[in-house]
Structure 1
Amino acid sequence: MGLLDDKVVLVNGGTQGVGAAVARAAVREGAVVAVTGRRAEPGEALVAELAAAGGKALFVRADLADAERSRTAVAEVVAACGRIDCLVNAAGLTSRGTLLDTTPELFDQHIAINLRAPFFAMQAAVADMVTREAPGTIVNIITSSAHGGQPFLAPYVAAKAGLVGLTRNAAHAHRFDRIRINGLNIGWTETEGEDATQRTFHGAGDDWRERAAARLPMGTLGQPDEIADFVVFLLSERSGVVTGSVIDWDQNVLGGLD
């Protein structure tokens, strides 16, 4: 028996990085998995990979910057699979901006992807669960930077800190519907997106992973597959009654001083 046997799991932003790792882990644990993404090629490639491994998966092309598409993507999954049992919001925008140089356009982009898209995806998924009078679980992938973050992440932090509050608010609102909603504040993680970010915004070379890992307490960046296992645990009944928790999945300790 897998932890997610016969569950229908939607992973927003599931075509690469942490989202793709969650999709793979969910399939291994018996779920039917839907993934959303802007580009068809990586989405269809991932679905083919999961199917070749014996899993059941589908790709829904969606630009989550469009609030209405965040809702209709959920509706497409419900139409195809009959319901949604679990939702993971893993899509994220990490482009840089400080308080002084962030434009209204950049700020709005961060709000659209990092806060508005999860809001309306949750709205649609919870509506399906409530209509069916069925329990469900949601996990929002957030960031340890939501505690304050670096100066060059001002719009990102603003949006993700909002997602922390939304996670707790929605968990409180729907606890008697038996819908559990939790979040993960993940730290520095080794993904394709992070590689592009380091090269684009910080002029990093091919050795950036090794240099970064050497500065971290555990000597390694966070790994998507490890995060994915934890997400699956939170989605599953094995995490019990836990709801409204935003867990720091990081190797730095908030408030700790040397």
Structure 2
Amino acid sequence: MFSHLLSGHSILVSGATQGVGRAIALAAARQGADRITITGRNSERGGTVVSELEELGARAVFIETDLENVDSARASVSRAIEEFGTLDHVVNAAGITTRGSVLNTDQDLFDRHMAINVRAPFFIMQEAIKHLKERGASGSIVSIITTSSKGGTPILAPYAISKAALAAATKNAAHAHRWDRIRINGINIGWTDTPGEDAIQRRFHDADDTWREQAYASQPMGKLGQPNEIADFVVFLLSERSGVVTGSIIDWDQTVWGCEDA
């Protein structure tokens, strides 16, 4: 098993106050990242995660960030650099999955998905790449995308569209900066067991306390995706142990896309 994959490195993880983002930040600390910036909207949860990271031996800071605001998204990068001197890795883990179909999505909902799910990650990548180029340093970026970027279900129209755009942005940036030795990849995660998913199930699908049991039983592996498992994969992809991989959008799911049951 690999260890200390990010030893001595600095990392920024957006949307890291809970769920997949939190798990990634903690996994990075366990793998030696000693300067960790987390961003999100909830300062109380942010403070809790900072304490967890510090218990693992990392220096950590929470930056309250409104990803609907481009200046706030950009500032999260500059503030991370100001806090810790350099930035080596970025993970775009923040996102929203508010339901909406082609027929009932209004402009505000559409714009909010585009702002948080693709515009903010784009400008965070932009600022991080500028910093790495100024240093003449290699680095890596991973964006958490979704299998819904392949099209999604009817109730996920703005979500699917915004994440498909993020997939394209990931590939475009990876191609543009491969000669700068900046590796940029994305992960299409499937249905994942997170606090955010629990809230979505209860708000939009009238779910009760049994929804997880039913969901787990419906999946080939007998469970939903787990944040800690995704986090370990993300840390590996950020690290030099993943070699030259760049511009890849990797399906992290138990659906085999393109295949059908007879």
TM-score by length of 2: 0.97
* Whole-Å separation in 1 of the counterparts to 2:154 and 2:161: 11
* Whole-Å separation in 2 of the counterparts to 1:165 and 1:15: 26
Alignment-mate amino acid for residue 68 of structure 1: D
Q: CA deviation at 1:55?
A: 2.3
Answer whether contact 2:20 2:231 (CA < 8 A) is retained.
yes
Q: Which of 101, 104, 121 is 2:124 aligned to?
A: 121
Q: Which of 5, 15, 18 is 2:17 aligned to?
A: 15
Matched, 1:95 2:98: yes
Q: Which of 78, 94, 111 is 1:75 aligned to?
A: 78
Q: Which of 21, 26, 29 is 2:28 aligned to?
A: 26
Matched, 1:255 2:246: no
Answer whether contact 2:146 2:189 (CA < 8 A) is retained.
yes
Q: CA deviation at 1:39?
A: 1.4
**Secondary structure of 1:84's match?**
coil
* Whole-Å separation in 2 of the counterparts to 1:164 and 1:133: 26
Matched, 1:41 2:44: yes
* Whole-Å separation in 2 of the counterparts to 1:82 and 1:185: 31
Alignment-mate amino acid for residue 199 of structure 1: R
Cross-structure match for 2:172: 169
Q: CA deviation at 1:58?
A: 1.1
Deviations 1:9-50 (A, max 9, x none): 000111110000000000001102110011110001110121
**Secondary structure of 2:87's match?**
coil
1:55-204 aligned within 5 A: 55-204=58-207
**Secondary structure of 1:91's match?**
coil
Q: CA deviation at 1:65?
A: 1.1
Deviations 1:181-237 (A, max 9, x none): 000000000000000000000000101011011111111000000000000000000
* Whole-Å separation in 2 of the counterparts to 1:52 and 1:164: 34
**Secondary structure of 1:183's match?**
strand
Gaps of 5+ in 1: none
Gaps of 5+ in 2: none
Q: CA deviation at 1:53?
A: 2.9
Identity of counterpart residues, as a percentage?
A: 58
Number of aligned residue pairs: 258
Report the RMSD for the aligned CA atoms in angstroms: 0.7
Q: CA deviation at 1:138?
A: 0.2
**Secondary structure of 2:73's match?**
helix
Alignment-mate amino acid for residue 14 of structure 1: A
